[in-house]
Amino acid sequence: MKDYIKADEWKIIEEGFKPELNKISESLCSIGNGHQGQRANFEETYSGETLQGSYMAGVYYPDKTRVGWWKNGYPEYFAKVLNATNWIGIKIWIDGEELDLATSKVSQFSRILNMQEGFLERSFVAKLNSGKEIKVKSQRFVSAKRKEIGAIKYQITPLNFSGKLETELFLDGDIKNEDANYDEKFWEEVDKQATNEVLCLTLKTKKTGFYLTTATTFEVFQEDAALSLETHIISKEKYLSLKTQTELKQNEKTTIYKFASQVTSRDVENADLVSVAKSSLQTAFAEGFESLKKEQAETWAEKWKHADIVIEGDIKAQQGIRFNIFQLDQTYTGTDERLNIGPKGFTGEKYGGSTYWDTEAYCLAFYLATAEPKVAKNLLVYRYKHLQKAIENAQKLGFTNGAALFPMVTMNGEECHNEWEITFEEIHRNGAIARAVFDYVNYTQDKEYLADFGLELLIAIARFWAQRVHFSQPKQKYVMHGVTGPNEYENNINNNWYTNVLAAWCLDYTKETIDFVEKNYPQKYENLALKIDFKAEEIKKWLDISQNMYYPADEKLGIFLQQEGYLDKEQILVADLPQSERPINQKWSWDRILRSCFIKQADTLQGIYLFEDRYDIETIRKNFEFYEPRTVHESSLSPCVHSILASKLGMKEKAYQMYLRTSRLDLDDYNNDTEDGLHITSMAGTWMSVVQGFGGMRVRNGELYFTPYLPQQWKGFSFRIGFKNAWIQIKVSTELISLKNETTQEISLFIYQKNYTLKANQELKIDVKKIEDNIFA
C-alpha cells in the first residue's frame, strides 16, 4: 500500500517528483473520452521508467497465443487493445541540451488530475546539467464533447538565462505493446502527409486491418503575441514531426498549443480518414485551447450533475468515490453499441482491453442508475450481437443444439483468453450475462427487450447449462464438474455452489421469459422458435434440472460450501498469514495457492449477494462470517460485494473498511499493480458499495427500495438515481433522510419497507429517529 496522493475532494494530486512511482501516477492521472485514452505520460522526452500509452476504443490485434501445450478448443489468439500513435510528444532543447526529467534536477513538481473539469496539469522546475533552470507548466485533455480531439497547452519560462529554444512536435506511430507475446509491432504505415503547419499520419493494424489517422497542428505564443516560426519537417517510418526554434527571454513565458485529431476506420471510410481528421482538427484549432477547455468543463459539469456522490466529513472517501466515477465515465459513454468496458479501460495494456464478465456483474448497475436507459441497453445489445460467436465457442467445446458459451475474454465475440482453466472452466460468466438481462428489465421495465433480444440469448444459455450438467446416480441430483468459480484460487472443482445456483436460476428465468413473450408477443415468439428450432419439450428437462440441482452445504456450520471438499482443506484465516507473505499471488507458488483455503474474491458470497432475498439474515451472517475471514481480496472485484453484505448485516465498521479499500484500491495501490493500469470495472463496485450498501438501494419487481444508514466516519452523504424517467436525490445525515424528486415524473418508492409517493419536484424529509423498523437504530 502506498499513500502519496494528497487528499482532495476534486483532484488527484502528486507533489514531488518520485521516479519510482511514475508508472503508478501515469495510470492514476489517465484521461479518456470513450473513443480514445491517454496515460499521464510526459510530453517531453523521459528516459526513465514509463509505460507509454495511447489507446483507441475497439482497435485491437489478435496476438497469437503463447502456450507450452496446446489443447483442443484453445483460443488461437489473445486480443489486445493497441498502443496507438503517440500524439502528445513535444521534444524540448535549451541551447542544444534536451529536457529530460530523468537527467535533470527536478523541483516544485506536481501532477494534478482535475476530475471536476476533466483535464490533467503538470508543473515543475528543471535544472539542466548546464545549470540553466526552466519552469514548465502543461495542461491537456481529450475532449468529452468532440471525441476525436485532444489538446495541449505547454508553457516554458527560463528562470536564470535567456537563450535558444528548439522544439520538435511529433506523431510517433513506431510504437509497440509492452505485453506483445512475440515482441512484434502491430502497426504498418499507410500514408503520411506534412506541411509546415499540419502533420497527418495514417497507420493500419496487421491482421485486423483497422486504420487510424492522426492529424496535428500547433501554434506558439510569447506573452500574448503569436509567433510566426519557420518549421522543418522530419519524416521517418511511422513518424512525422515539425521542428522549430525561437529565442527565450529570462522570466518570459513561451506557450505552445498542440492540437490533435484521431479518427479510425471504425467510424469513417478509409478514403475519408484524412479529410475528416483534418477537418475536425481545423475546427478545434479555430476554437482555441481555452474555449475547448471551457467546453470540457461544461460537459463534465453535466456528467457530474447525475453521477456525483457527495460525502461529508471524510475527504479520502470523497476523493475515492469521485475518482472511481470519473474513470468510469471516461471509459464508457454508451453511444456505441460495438464497444464495451475493458478491465483497465484506457489506462494500460493488462487484460488486453477486452470485455470480461465484470461488465454485467458490476458495471451495468452504475450505468442503469446514472445514465439514460439506452446506455445500459447498449451493453446488453453488445452481447446479443455476439450470440452467434458464443454458439460457435460452445461448438468448439462439443456443445450442440444452439447452446452458447459466451467468452471469458473477447473483442469480437470470439473467446480469446489464454489460460485454460478460465477459458474452459469459468463458465459462470454465462450466468452473469443472463442475470444482466434480468437486472436491465427489472430496472427499466423494458420488457419488449425480452421479445426482441433477451429471450433468444437466454434460450441459448439455458441450452448450454442443460448440456453442461450431468445426473449423479449416488446423489440422485444434477451436478456440475470441472469448473472454476469467481474464486480463481480454485481450479477444476466440482459443484461450485455459486455456479450451480446461477445455472438453476437461469433455467427457471428462461422458462418464465418464454411464458411472458409467448403470451404478450406471440408473433415474435413464433418467429424466434422457428429461427432457433426451439421445441417446448426442452423446458421439461430444464425444470427437472433446476428442481434437482445439487448444492453443497454443511449443516453443522450452517453454510453453503464453496465447492465439494472445501472443508477438507486446512482451514487457516487470513489474519494468521504473516504480512510478509501478502499478497499471496505475488509471494506463493500457484501450487500452494490452489491447495490452500484462501479465497481470491467473493464466490459463495457473490451468489448470496445476487439472490439475497432467498435467504434469512442469519444464513447470510453465518456464510459471511465464515468466508470473509478466509478471503484475501486479491481481486479488485472482491471488496465491494463484502461491503454491501456487511452493510446489510449491520456490520458498519467492516462495510466502511471494505468501501475504503475498493474506493482507494488504485489510489493507494493496495495490490501493488496500479502501474499496469487502473481497475476500471471494479470501480463500479465502489459506486455499488455506497448506493446499494450505505444507501441500501434495491429494485424488487420493478419497485425502488432504500434502507440507508450513515457510516460513523461521515457527517452525511448524497447521491442521485435515475429511475422510471425520474431523477431522485437521496441525502442521508445523522438526523434526516431526504428524498427529492427533481423531475415532473411522479415516482413511488419504499423507505424501510414503507411506501411513499414523490410527486413532481416534491421533497420528502424523514426523521431517522422516528423510523420504527430502522435495523441500524
User: Which grid coordinates belong to 112?
Assistant: 494534478
Distances (CA, A) of 97 to 40, 100, 446: 24, 9, 63
DSSP H helices in 664-708: 680-688
User: Which grid coordinates belong to 580?
Assistant: 510478509
Name the amino acid, one letter, at 436: A
SS3 content of the chain, % helix, strand, coil (to 5): 35, 25, 35
Give the other-Cβ count within 10 Å of 545's Cβ: 22
Distances (CA, A) of 366 to 324, 328, 428: 11, 9, 21
User: Which grid coordinates belong to 631?
Assistant: 478471503
115 close to 323: Cβ distance less than 8 angstroms: yes
Q: Is 490 a catalytic residue?
A: no
3-state DSSP of 598-634: CECCCCHHHHHHHCHHHCCHHHHHHHHHHHHHHECCC
57 close to 35: Cβ distance less than 8 angstroms: yes
3-state DSSP of 415-458: CCCCCHHHHCCCCHHHHHHHHHHHHHHHHHCCCHHHHHHHHHHH
742 close to 761: Cβ distance less than 8 angstroms: yes
Ranges assigned E (strand) in 173-226: 187-194, 198-205, 211-222, 225-226
User: Which grid coordinates belong to 38?
Assistant: 491517454
Residue of 44, 168, 488, 628 marked catalytic: 488
Q: For residue 563, give the 3-state DSSP assignment.
A: coil
**CA 720 – CA 24 distance, rounded (Å):** 31
**CA 647 – CA 641 distance, rounded (Å):** 10
**CA 299 – CA 291 distance, rounded (Å):** 12
Q: Which helix (H) or strand (E) holds 522?
A: helix 522-532
The DSSP annotation for 106-146 comes to EEEEEEEEETTTTEEEEEEEEE-TTS-EEEEEEEEEE-SSS
Strand partners, 747: 758
Task: Give the full edge-to-edge strand order of the sheet including 736-741.
Answer: 309-312, 716-723, 726-733, 736-741, 763-767
Work out whether the CA dihedral 631, 633, 638, 641 comes out positive or negative.
Answer: positive
Nearest to 187 by CA among 199, 204, 201: 204
**Which residues, at least 6 apart from 571, have a Cβ–Cβ distance to it below 8 Å?**
597, 630
Q: Which helix (H) or strand (E) holds 12?
A: strand 11-15
752 close to 773: Cβ distance less than 8 angstroms: yes
**CA 116 – CA 329 distance, rounded (Å):** 12
Nearest to 119 by CA among 344, 326, 277, 335: 326
Task: Note if the bond before 578 is cis, omega within 30 degrees.
Answer: no
Strand partners, 729: 720, 740
Nearest to 275 by CA among 340, 371, 200: 200
**Which residues, at least 6 apart from 608, have a Cβ–Cβ distance to it below 8 Å?**
560, 615, 620, 623, 624, 645
Which residues are known to be catalytic? Answer: 488
